Amino acid sequence: MRKSKIKKMVIISLLVSLGLILHVIEGLIPINGVVPGAKLGLANIPNLLALIIFGFQAGFQVLFLRVFLGSLLIGTFMTINFYFSLIGGILGFLAMAFAYFYLKDKLSIIGVSVLGAVFHNIGQIVIAFFIIANQGIFYYLPYLLLMAVPTGIGVGLVTYFTLNHLPLKEDF
């Protein structure tokens, strides 16, 4: 029993580390020319993996630790970018968790990922609205959602193929 708890903790730690690496790398990829503020969402791959392999609590831990530690690493802790990442991440994760646990027969992992990307962007726009108090920010949402679909598909595909090469969940 103790061995499996340690194994689970090590794997969750590795997923947090992977999320941090992807978080930093993602910040270096310039796609702002397409849609300002848009990102590929690569750092969400470990969140989705943890959700699927270990459940809600582990997935949320990976998300929170990745956002918190990532913001400390890149110097955005307690800035607007931190809140965008945190609120968007939480809303996107909640949408993915709901879809994965309650719509499993209707949505694939790719669909779950796209839903998470869409809700991540909705969360960011809502936070931006509270910060700038201008309804005009909602006109930006369709552009973000257009980016959310292909990036969500990409994250979902990577997650799907990664899961196919991992040991069975029972081994964890």
Q: What percent of the chain has pLDDT over 70?
A: 93
Instruction: Note the pLDDT of residue 150.
Output: 93
Instruction: Note the pLDDT of residue 165.
Output: 83
- Band (pLDDT 50/70/90 cuts) for residue 109 is very high
- Band (pLDDT 50/70/90 cuts) for residue 34 is low
29: tokens are 């990829």
What is the tens place of the pLDDT at every residue in 118-142? 999 999 999 989 988 889 889 888 9
* pTM score: 0.86
Angle subtended at Cα 141 by Cα 65 and Cα 42, rounded to the nearest 5 degrees? 35
Angle subtended at Cα 11 by Cα 7 and Cα 16, rounded to the nearest 5 degrees? 145
Mean pLDDT of the chain: 88
Domain borders along the chain are 2-171
User: What fold characterizes domain 2-171?
Assistant: Arp2/3 complex 21 kDa subunit ARPC3 (1.10.1760)
Instruction: Note the pLDDT of residue 168.
Output: 60
Phi-psi region of 133 (alpha: psi -120 to 50; beta: other; left: phi over 0): left
